[in-house]
Amino acid sequence: MAKSKRMRGAETGIDPEKSYGVIEAVKLVKERAKAKFDETIEIAVNLNVDPRHADQMVRGVISLPHGTGKSLKVAVFAKGDKADAAKAAGADIVGAEDLADQIQAGKIEFDRCIATPDMMGLVGRLGKVLGPRGLMPNPKLGTVTPDVAKAVKAVKGGQVEFRAEKAGIIHAGIGKASFAEDALVANTRAFFDAIVKAKPSGAKGVYVKKVSISSTMGPGLRLEVSSLGE
């Protein structure tokens, strides 16, 4: 496929065979984010795992030090005082049976779903709808919790969920092109550190095969893994 003039220009000065230090890579990616909107800075981590095996699945959450720059819509399954606490913390949608009915009807207008433990009997019936979309509440990810207010604030504050896809690749947004370079560097290192700490017991050999970053409309740059741990 022929590349656009804008993409050809963005690739000028970038060596596709080179691995860049994270500081230099962030600078180059920011310089090339020329779209008319605030582009998302994205990271892709290729891991030597097969997520089809339970002992090789990589999944977790990380609260980035400088947030993501993206406002997520949060739905909470809760009743009574817990529902009130979720609303006060900034949840966009709060409900129980009524929220379940909306979801069953295909009305899914949120990016993250949180539930109190007593609501999981109800939420469990929605697994076939929420599961494929990666929205099913999970205690390991902090989205099944009695402290829904804390969970809502974490999501609103820039918490990122990550999960290895079939090929062992993790994709995530780690900020916006408008962020300062040092903020993007810090977010990149924090995200990578979370991936390293989430190494599963079944992972053998070299765990991290490749890491790259790009902006929404820009070229990808391969990172020196050693520069991410400094």
Residue 215: give the domain boundaries. 17-68+159-228
Strands 19-20, 221-223: parallel, antiparallel or unpaired by DSSP?
A: parallel
The answer as to whether 7 is a domain residue is no
Query: Does residue 142 sit in the same domain as residue 79?
Result: yes
Query: Which stretches does DSSP call E strand in the chain?
Result: 19-20, 40-47, 59-63, 74-77, 93-95, 112-115, 159-163, 169-176, 208-215, 221-223
Q: What is the pLDDT of residue 73?
A: 94
CATH number of the domain to which 60 belongs = 3.30.190.20
> Is residue 137 pLDDT above 80, yes or no?
yes
Residues 134 and 167 placed together within one structural domain of the fold: no
Note whether 45 and 116 are same-domain residues. Answer: no
pLDDT band at 2 (very low <50, low <70, confident <90, very high): very low
Domain boundary among 140, 156, 172: 156
35-86: pLDDT as tens digits: 999 999 999 999 999 999 999 999 999 999 999 998 889 999 999 999 999 9
Q: What is the mean pLDDT of residues 206-227?
A: 95
* Neighbour order of strands in the sheet with 169-176: 19-20, 221-223, 208-215, 40-47, 169-176
Domain identity same for 152 and 164:
no
CATH number at residue 152: 3.40.50.790
Kindly report the pTM of this predicted structure: 0.81
Do 164 and 100 fall into the same domain? no
pLDDT of 17 higher than 90: no
Residue 107 maps to a domain: yes
Tell me: do 82 and 40 sit in the same domain. no
Are residues 181 and 198 both part of a single domain? yes
- pLDDT at residue 6 greater than cutoff 80: no
| Count of domains observed in the chain | 2
Residue 11: predicted pLDDT: 64
State how far the Cα of 160 lies from the Cα of 190, in Å rounded to an integer: 11
The structure tokens listed for 210 are: 């490749």
* Whole-number pLDDT of residue 49: 96
pLDDT at position 16 is 84
Indicate whether 172 belongs to any domain: yes
